[in-house]
Amino acid sequence: MSSQTDQSVYYVPHNGWYPVWVAFGAFMLLAGLGTWLNAVKADEDPSAWMMYVGGATLAVVLFFWFAKVIEENHQGLANEQLKRSYVWGMGWFIFSEVMFFAAFFGALFYARNFAVAWLGGEGAKGITGDYLWPEFSSEWPVMANPDNSLFQGPAESMASPGIGSWLSYLPFWNTVILLTSSVTVHFAHTSLKNDSRGGLIGWLALTVLLGIVFLILQGWEYLHAYDELGLTLSSGIYGSTFFILTGFHGFHVTLGTFMLIIALLRAIKGHFSHHDCFGFEATSWYWHFVDVVWVCLFFFVYIF
């Protein structure tokens, strides 16, 4: 019997400790984040060492794991069946992210269309709100909470000032930036298909720049909301839904920007070709998904 493994159906990598260390890093990161948040809420001195150790462990292990997968692909070990599994895996991952955001958009819809109306005395269940807070006004965004002693409402909201004032409206420019980045990453993909290495690198670099600019502007927006508008996570249901939706999206933009940076570095090293570029394609799929989520956020969080 030949000792050569038959790779015609599926390549099975050698045993490794990567999954174990990823699980350890993720556990330390989440446990550390929970500990830090609880300490901040209790007005105690927060310790973030566990969160930092977990994040560093996760980053280092993923770096070496992905490098190993790239090396195996360059050795010709990733056959067609394995590449199909990559496509399906990325597809299911993006679908899980769609469901993740659907849950938070659903919470926003429920709060705006049901809970707030009931607290204002509307509908069959409105008697509860009428009894507890008869002076509460069921308008969105909620600026004055039912019990302001617990949750102080913001001075102003981040709602759109009207299409005539969009040129001075920061979320509008963030929308323009992300939609433009979707176009530039598409041009990068087109350059790759046409075997234009310079076009691939140039358009990818521009996409990375746009992602970084978006994150800077979102940080500026958060500072404006906290310092000047009084809009915080403690501002009741409006503050909670605003920062949870936009904050998680910002995290996904950060992740997508890192993915684009890795793709750019690989393109500079000569990786990817028009017939072998799943690493780049998966990154571009994810980036388009992030852009679509932001468009939904712009309409349902800022405008309507």
Instruction: Quote the CA–CA distance of 231 and 175 in Å, as a whole number.
Output: 21
Q: How many CB atoms lie within 10 A of CB 175?
A: 20
Q: What is the pLDDT of residue 127?
A: 61
Instruction: Quote the CA–CA distance of 91 and 277 in Å, as a whole number.
Output: 16
- Is the Cα dihedral 114, 116, 119, 123 positive or negative? negative
**What mean pLDDT is predicted for residues 151-174?**
86
Q: How many CB atoms lie within 10 A of CB 167?
A: 8
Please say whether the structural domain 14-78 has been given the CATH code 1.10.287. yes
What are the percentages of helix, strand and coil residues in the chain, rounded to 5?
70, 0, 30
Q: Is the peptide bond before 171 cis (omega within 30 degrees of 0)?
A: no
Superfamily assignment of 79-303 in CATH?
Cytochrome c oxidase, subunit III, four-helix bundle (1.20.120.80)
Exposed, middle or buried by CB within 10 Å (0-12, 13-18, 19+), for 142?
A: buried
Residue limits of CATH 1.20.120.80 in the chain? 79-303
Helices (H), 225-277: 237-268
Exposed, middle or buried by CB within 10 Å (0-12, 13-18, 19+), for 254?
A: middle
Backbone dihedral region for residue 195 (phi beyond 0: left; psi -120 to 50: alpha; all else: beta): left
Which residues does residue 255 pair with via DSSP β-bridges, in sequence order?
none
Each residue's pLDDT tens digit, 30-49: 999 999 888 877 878 878 89
Exposed, middle or buried by CB within 10 Å (0-12, 13-18, 19+), for 141?
A: buried
Q: What is the pLDDT of residue 7?
A: 56
Each residue's pLDDT tens digit, 122-136: 766 666 555 667 777
Each residue's pLDDT tens digit, 248-295: 999 999 999 999 999 999 999 999 998 889 999 999 999 999 999 999
Q: Is the pLDDT of residue 1 over 60?
A: no
Instruction: Quote the CA–CA distance of 13 and 274 in Å, as a whole number.
Output: 25
From 174, 295, 158, select the one nearest 238 (Cα to Cα): 158
**Residue 250, helix vs strand vs coil:** helix
Query: What is the pTM (predicted TM-score) of this model?
Result: 0.87
Q: What is the pLDDT of residue 155?
A: 75
Instruction: Quote the CA–CA distance of 204 and 133 in Å, as a whole number.
Output: 54
DSSP at 167 = G
The confidence band for 81, taking pLDDT boundaries of 50, 70 and 90, is: confident
Instruction: Quote the CA–CA distance of 120 and 145 in Å, as a whole number.
Output: 11
Residue limits of CATH 1.10.287 in the chain? 14-78
